[in-house]
């Protein structure tokens, strides 16, 4: 495919035609740009009926239960979410490939199977609409990842995840694919924008970004256009969109969930790799998805997936939490600090022990991660772009990509990474409770900022990327609050520790960031996703009790 405006226009026209005319919002009914918060517009625009609004508003766990017992059909559920997805796209530009017709046919098939099987669901995700980031290949459909060079390329196979979700009864892959910004893995790009599909905005405040690179998933799920979205995370690309939209987002340990068959740039980069994970409005949705995929025995289809069945017994009755208020490199903005303080106070009030956790060689971790991301000197990206002549996107950070290292140097970099992981594990084990027990989980900010102003990204990912480097599972948890100019004034007394820190502090304005949701990040031990989900329930319970 040759890079051209005509090809892009044709793609966008095809995309718009996939939305049924009766689901299109007339231009004079769309909120003007001056209306920045559109999070509830799906309820008032007239496209969804009240029963359909009731369906898309259900908590995911309740929805799954009603689909399983037959009180909701897959068809009525799918139509409701397809309508909401169409609305979400017209508000925020969050979709790429749109498969509403196929979704509806899949829903009819599931309803028929439900009846033929004596009202038994096909699987644990029976009838559940799930969206996928534009990396998970679906046989016979286009998967271009927002890259002009890949326009028109049709997938010849299903990703392993797609196969497992189909077997679990989901409608996911036939609904839509959420937007993926151009080649964000290596290049630290915290927004969702590309030459093919354009920019996705944040439904809570459309002057702010939805985050990246799974930002389309974040906007879509926040607007109730999908029960759950599946993203990928190499430096925070599940957690940042979850944080920016006030959603739950899990980055599991590498390969615990199957990545085989997903399309990507940087394939072959093993020193630091991408993991897939769910983004959802509720924790029970994250838990149901993760368990369902693991119960699908991914190790039989993906040679990298470890044979670790779901361990229901891996729950903690009274976990001990560590807390890291900042990483001593960049101080989080005032509302981010407030979110973490709210959480720690709630846990302490509920009787949990919280231990201060000292930051560990954060600058070194950032340096190693950047070296790994850029270890091919940008060759993979250059080869990809050269096919069409597509220019590099302006927000792509190319620093450090001017030197291609040798194989031997790559090996030494991996040794450095492995030594760092071992040292960090020892540091974790030495952070102990009052009884001498090592902490179970670590709470910290997911980012220095809430959702930031579009095109004003702070270019600092280490609050999330650190845990990609050490390969620990991490969950973003919304705290049920948002930026408030009264509660979150600029901290005029703070003295920045560096020029970077000063620049990020100066980017904060409570008026510009108003309504941006607040979240915290919870990290656990490697390959203990069940434990992370268990600890997240404790955090959610404490936050609910504190607000009662």
Query: Active-site positions?
Result: 133, 213, 237
CB 85 within 8 A of CB 32: no
Q: Which conformational region is residue 362 in: left (phi greater than 0), alpha (psi within -120 to 50 degrees), or beta?
A: alpha
Closest CA to 460 of 471, 449, 474, 473: 449
Nearest Cα residue to 279 out of 208, 142, 138, 178: 178
Q: Is 43 exposed, middle or buried (0-12, 13-18, 19+ CB in 10 A)?
A: middle
d(CA 295, CA 329): 41
- What is the DSSP annotation of 133-176? ETTB--TTSB--TT-GGGTTPBPSS--HHHHHHHHTT--GGGTE
Residues 25/87, Cβ–Cβ less than 8 Å? yes
In contact, 153 and 142? CB cutoff 8 Å: yes
Give me the DSSP letters along 375-404.
TBTTHHHHHHHHTTTPPPPTT---TT-S-B
CA 36/CA 40 separation, integer angstroms: 11
H or E, element range at 547: helix 529-547
> Which backbone phi and psi does 32 adopt, to 5 degrees?
-65, 165
Give φ, ψ of 368 to 5 degrees.
Answer: -65, -45
Tokens of 63: 């929805």
Task: At 214, list the tokens.
Answer: 């799974």
Q: Using an 8 Å Cβ cutoff, are 348 and 465 in contact?
A: no
**Cα separations (Å) of 138 from 5, 133, 169, 261, 262?**
26, 11, 16, 9, 9
């Amino acid at each position: 495919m040759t890079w051209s405006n005509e090809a892009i226009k044709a793609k966008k026209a095809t995309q718009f035609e996939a939305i049924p005319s009766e689901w299109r919002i007339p231009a004079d009914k769309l909120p003007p740009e001056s209306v920045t918060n559109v999070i509830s517009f799906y309820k008032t625009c007239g496209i969804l009926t009240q029963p359909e609004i009731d369906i898309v508003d259900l908590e995911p766990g309740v929805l799954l239960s009603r689909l399983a017992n037959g009180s909701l059909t897959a068809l009525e559920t799918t139509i409701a979410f397809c309508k909401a997805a169409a609305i979400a796209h017209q508000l925020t530009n969050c979709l790429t490939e749109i498969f509403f017709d196929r979704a509806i046919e899949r829903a009819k098939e599931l309803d028929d199977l439900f009846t033929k099987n004596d009202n038994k669901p096909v699987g644990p995700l029976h009838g559940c609409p799930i969206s996928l980031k534009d990396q998970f290949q679906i046989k016979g459909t286009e998967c271009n990842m927002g890259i002009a060079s890949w326009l028109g390329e049709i997938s010849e196979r299903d990703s392993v995840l797609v196969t497992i979700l189909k077997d679990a009864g989901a409608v996911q892959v036939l609904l839509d694919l959420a937007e993926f910004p151009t080649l964000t893995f290596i290049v630290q790009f915290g927004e969702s924008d590309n030459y093919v599909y354009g920019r996705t905005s944040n439904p809570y405040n459309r002057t702010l970004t939805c985050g990246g690179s799974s930002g389309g998933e974040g906007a879509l799920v926040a607007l109730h256009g999908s029960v759950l979205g599946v993203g990928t995370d190499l430096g925070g690309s599940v957690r940042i969109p979850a944080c920016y939209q006030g959603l739950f987002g899990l980055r599991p340990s590498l390969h615990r969930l199957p990545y085989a068959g997903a399309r990507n740039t940087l394939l072959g980069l093993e020193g630091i790799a991408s993991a897939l994970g769910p983004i959802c409005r509720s924790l029970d949705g994250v838990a149901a998805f993760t368990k369902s995929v693991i119960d699908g025995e991914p190790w039989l289809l993906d040679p990298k997936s470890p044979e670790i069945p779901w361990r229901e017994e891996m729950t903690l009755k009274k976990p001990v939490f560590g807390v890291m208020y900042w990483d001593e490199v960049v101080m989080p903005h005032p509302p981010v600090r407030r979110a973490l303080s709210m959480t720690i106070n709630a846990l302490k009030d509920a009787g949990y022990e919280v231990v201060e956790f000292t930051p560990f060689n954060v600058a070194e971790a950032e340096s190693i991660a950047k070296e790994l991301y850029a270890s091919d000197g940008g060759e993979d990206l250059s080869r990809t772009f050269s096919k069409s002549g597509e220019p590099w996107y302006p927000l792509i950070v190319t620093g450090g990509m001017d030197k291609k290292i040798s194989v031997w140097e790559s090996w030494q970099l991996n040794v450095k990474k492995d030594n760092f992981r071992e040292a960090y594990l020892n540091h974790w084990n030495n952070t102990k409770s009052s009884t001498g027990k090592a902490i179970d989980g670590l709470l910290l900010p997911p980012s220095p900022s809430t959702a930031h102003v579009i095109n004003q990204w702070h270019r600092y990912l280490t609050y999330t990327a650190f845990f990609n480097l050490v390969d620990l599972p991490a969950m973003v948890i919304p705290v049920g609050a948002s930026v408030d100019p009264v509660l979150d004034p600029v901290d005029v007394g703070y003295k920045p520790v560096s020029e970077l820190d000063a620049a990020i502090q100066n980017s904060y304005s409570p008026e510009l960031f108003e309504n941006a949701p607040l979240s915290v990040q919870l990290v656990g031990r490697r390959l203990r996703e069940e434990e992370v989900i268990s600890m997240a329930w404790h955090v959610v319970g404490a936050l609910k009790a504190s607000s009662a």
